Structure 1
Amino acid sequence: MKAKIIDYIFGVFKKDPKEIESLNGLRAFSILLVLFFHLWENNTHQFLKLGLITEGSLESILSMIHFMDLFFLLSGLLIYAGLFRVYEKYFTINVKEFYLKRILRIYPAYYTILLITFLFSLVIYSEMKAKPNPNEIETFVLNRAAHAISNPWTDIFLVSNYNSDRMFEFGWSLSLEQHFYIVLPFLCLFVLFKLPFQKRMLVLLGIYILPLFFRFYHQFNGDGAGIYYATHTRFDALFVGIIVFEIFNRKYFAKWTGLHALGAFLAAVALFFAGVLIRRHPILETTISYNLYHLVFILLTISAMIPASPVYKFFAFSFFRPISRLSYTIYLWHGILAIRFVRKGMDNASWSGFFSIYAIVCLKIFLSCWILYLIIERPFHNLKIKLDKEHPTADKV
Structure 2
Amino acid sequence: MKTKILDYIFGVFKKDPKEIESLNGLRAFSILIVLFFHLWENNSHQFLEQGLVTESSLNSILSMIHFMDLFFLLSGLLIYAGLFRVYEKYSTLNIKEFYLKRILRIYPAYYTVLIITFLFSLVIYTEMKAKSNLNEIEAFVLNRASIAVNNPWSDIFLYSNYNPNRIFEFGWSLSLEQHFYIVLPFLCLFVLFKLPFQKRMFVLLGIYILPIFFRFYHQFNGDAGGIYYATHTRFDALFLGIITFEIFNRKYFEKWNGWHASFTFLAAVALFFIGVQIRKHPILEHTLSYNLYHIVFILLTISAMIPSSPVYKFFASFLFRPISRLSYTIYLWHGILAIRFVRKGMDNLSWSGFFSIYAVVCLKIFISCWILYLIIERPFHNLKVKLDKEHPTPDKV
Fold in common (TM above 0.5): yes
Distance 2:343 2:213 in 1: 41
Q: What is the match of residue 204 of structure 2?
A: 204
Whichever residue aligns with residue 241 of structure 1, its letter is G
Distance 1:341 1:129 in 2: 26
Q: What is the match of residue 378 of structure 2?
A: 378
State the TM-score, normalized to the length of structure 2.
0.99
Whichever residue aligns with residue 190 of structure 2, its letter is F
Distance 2:254 2:225 in 1: 42
Distance 1:127 1:54 in 2: 39
Q: What is the match of residue 340 of structure 2?
A: 340
Q: What is the match of residue 357 of structure 2?
A: 357
Q: What is the match of residue 273 of structure 2?
A: 273
Q: What is the match of residue 11 of structure 2?
A: 11
Q: What is the match of residue 192 of structure 2?
A: 192
Are the equivalent residues in 1 in contact too, given 2:22–2:313 (CA < 8 A)? yes
Are the equivalent residues in 1 in contact too, given 2:85–2:395 (CA < 8 A)? yes
Are the equivalent residues in 1 in contact too, given 2:81–2:395 (CA < 8 A)? no
Q: What is the match of residue 234 of structure 1?
A: 234
Are the equivalent residues in 2 in contact too, given 1:121–1:148 (CA < 8 A)? yes
Whichever residue aligns with residue 257 of structure 1, its letter is N
- 1:209 CA drift (Å): 0.2
- 1:347 CA drift (Å): 3.2
Whichever residue aligns with residue 20 of structure 2, its letter is I
Whichever residue aligns with residue 183 of structure 2, its letter is V
Aligned sequence identity (%): 86
SS of 1:385 mapped into structure 2: helix
Are the equivalent residues in 1 in contact too, given 2:50–2:348 (CA < 8 A)? no
Distance 1:395 1:187 in 2: 19
Structure 2: runs of 5+ lacking an equivalent? none
Q: Which aligned pairs between 1:157-176 and structure 2 lie closer than 5 A?
A: 157-176=157-176
Q: What is the match of residue 42 of structure 1?
A: 42
- 1:352 CA drift (Å): 1.7
Are the equivalent residues in 1 in contact too, given 2:34–2:67 (CA < 8 A)? yes
SS of 1:344 mapped into structure 2: coil
Q: Does 1:322 align with 2:322?
A: yes
Whichever residue aligns with residue 54 of structure 2, its letter is T
- 1:287 CA drift (Å): 0.2
Q: What is the match of residue 305 of structure 1?
A: 305
Structure 1: runs of 5+ lacking an equivalent? none
Distance 1:134 1:357 in 2: 32
Distance 1:309 1:299 in 2: 13
State the TM-score, normalized to the length of structure 1.
0.99
Distance 2:339 2:259 in 1: 43
Are the equivalent residues in 1 in contact too, given 2:23–2:315 (CA < 8 A)? yes
Q: What is the match of residue 263 of structure 1?
A: 263
Q: Which aligned pairs between 1:112-151 and structure 2 lie closer than 5 A?
A: 112-151=112-151
Distance 1:353 1:51 in 2: 14
Whichever residue aligns with residue 67 of structure 2, its letter is F
- 1:344 CA drift (Å): 2.2
- 1:119 CA drift (Å): 0.3
Whichever residue aligns with residue 184 of structure 2, its letter is L
Whichever residue aligns with residue 73 of structure 2, its letter is L
Once the two structures are superposed, residues 172-227 of structure 1 have per-residue CA deviations (whole angstroms, 9 ceiling, x without a partner) of 00000000000000000000000000000000000000000000000011111100
| 4+ aligned runs moved over 2 Å, structure 1 | 347-350
SS of 1:103 mapped into structure 2: helix
Aligned residues: 397
- 1:147 CA drift (Å): 1.1
- 1:314 CA drift (Å): 0.1
Whichever residue aligns with residue 360 of structure 1, its letter is V
Are the equivalent residues in 2 in contact too, given 1:46–1:349 (CA < 8 A)? no
- 1:75 CA drift (Å): 0.1
Are the equivalent residues in 2 in contact too, given 1:275–1:292 (CA < 8 A)? yes
Whichever residue aligns with residue 151 of structure 2, its letter is N
